[in-house]
Every structure is written in structure tokens, then in C-alpha cells.
Amino acid sequence: MGLLRTAALVVLGISAFVFVALFGRLPVFRKTPIAFFHRLLWVHLPGGIAWIDSHLFGGRIVHAWNRSGSYILHENHPLVLVRNIPKNDTSNMILSHSRCFSSVCSASENVLLYQWHGLGFPMCTAS
């Protein structure tokens, strides 16, 4: 029974945290404990961390945190780009060849497929 109670409390706590984080700004919750916890979560907690960082470390941790977040959100990671290139090329080749072997493929579609892959010769001659 103790494990079930602990699991239920964890789920309830996470649900309450998400509810406060997402819906605490709604006007219906003004001047309620939900709004208080929302302000605590989004205003006072980050401000307190920034204050402690500025007094103890000269603001270096918040600066590094902001630069890391900006890099993660706005920069393309080279490993992801390199991984996606072969996947995209392979899927395009498979899709284009499978369309050519069907009887629906017209001559104009074939020309578009050759130009897409940079080929100077027909991949198929379906009519």
C-alpha cells in the first residue's frame, strides 16, 4: 500500500505542477493560491537563482545557461544534419523508384523525378 500511495502522490504532484505552470495566469485564478504558486514558479524562483548567481558567481552561470539554451533552440546540430542527409536521399530514391514502376507514372512525372535527382537519363519508361 505504501508504494501505491507514493506513486499516487508523485502523479498528483506532477499534475499539480503542470496545472499551475500552464494555467496559473488565467484571470479566473487571480488572487488565489494557484496564481501565487505561478508567480513563485515563473517570477520569484528564476529571480532568486539569478540573484544568487550574480552575488556568488558574477552572473556567469545564468549567462552560460542562456547561451546554451539559445544554441539548443536556434542552431542546427551537425550530427543531426549528417544523420538526416542519407535518410532523406534514400527515402527520396525509394519513393521515386516505386512511383516509376507503377503504371500511374506519366512522362512529365518522370522528367520531374530525373531533375530532382540530378540524373540525365530516364529512370523508367512507364506510360
The reply to whether 13 and 50 lie within a common domain is yes
The reply to whether 59 and 111 lie within a common domain is no
Q: How many domains does the chain have?
A: 2
What backbone torsions phi and psi does residue 75 show, to the nearest 5 degrees? -100, 145
| pLDDT score at 3 | 92
| Sequence-distant contacts of 2-6: CB under 8 A, at least 24 apart | none
**Is residue 125 in some structural domain?**
no
| pLDDT tens for the chain, residues 1 to 127 | 789 999 999 999 999 999 999 999 999 999 999 999 999 999 999 999 999 999 999 999 999 999 988 888 887 766 666 665 665 555 556 655 555 544 445 554 444 444 444 444 444 545 4
The reply to whether 56 and 28 lie within a common domain is yes
Query: What pTM was computed for the model?
Result: 0.51
The reply to whether 29 and 86 lie within a common domain is no
**Is residue 65 in some structural domain?**
yes
The reply to whether 21 and 64 lie within a common domain is yes
| pLDDT score at 27 | 92
Residue ranges of the alpha helices (H) in the chain?
2-23, 33-39, 45-56, 60-74, 78-100, 107-117
